[in-house]
Amino acid sequence: MATTSTYTVKGMTCGHCVSSVTEEVTEVPGVTGVTVDLATGLVTVDSDGPIDDAAITAAVEEAGYEVVTPA
């Protein structure tokens, strides 16, 4: 069952930030799509099943940013 989760990420300021977050989150197993809105800091993650919030948080931190809260 496809699911969509949204997270608020702090610290993104440019297109490179968006690319970094997109690249890291895309590597999380089960993720099928990532949309990052630089203006709002919202990261929308599409997946083919429930996704572990901790895995998404770790991926965002690996990119150098911070998940404020799952939205």
- pLDDT, position 69: 73
Cβ–Cβ < 8 Å for 2, 46: yes
- pLDDT, position 70: 59
Summarize the confidence of residues 29-38 as an average pLDDT. Answer: 96
Q: Read off the pTM.
A: 0.91
Judged by DSSP in three states, 25 sits in: helix
Looking from the CA of 15 toward its CB, the CA atoms found within 13 Å total 0
Structure tokens at 6: 């949204």
Q: Residue 11 and residue 67: Cα distance in Å, rounded?
A: 9
Asked if residue 71 has pLDDT above 60, the reply is no
Percent of the chain whose predicted confidence (pLDDT) is above 90: 89
**Mean pLDDT score of the chain, rounded to an integer?**
94
Displacement of CA 3 from its chain's centroid (Å):
14
Summarize the confidence of residues 28-54 as an average pLDDT. Answer: 95
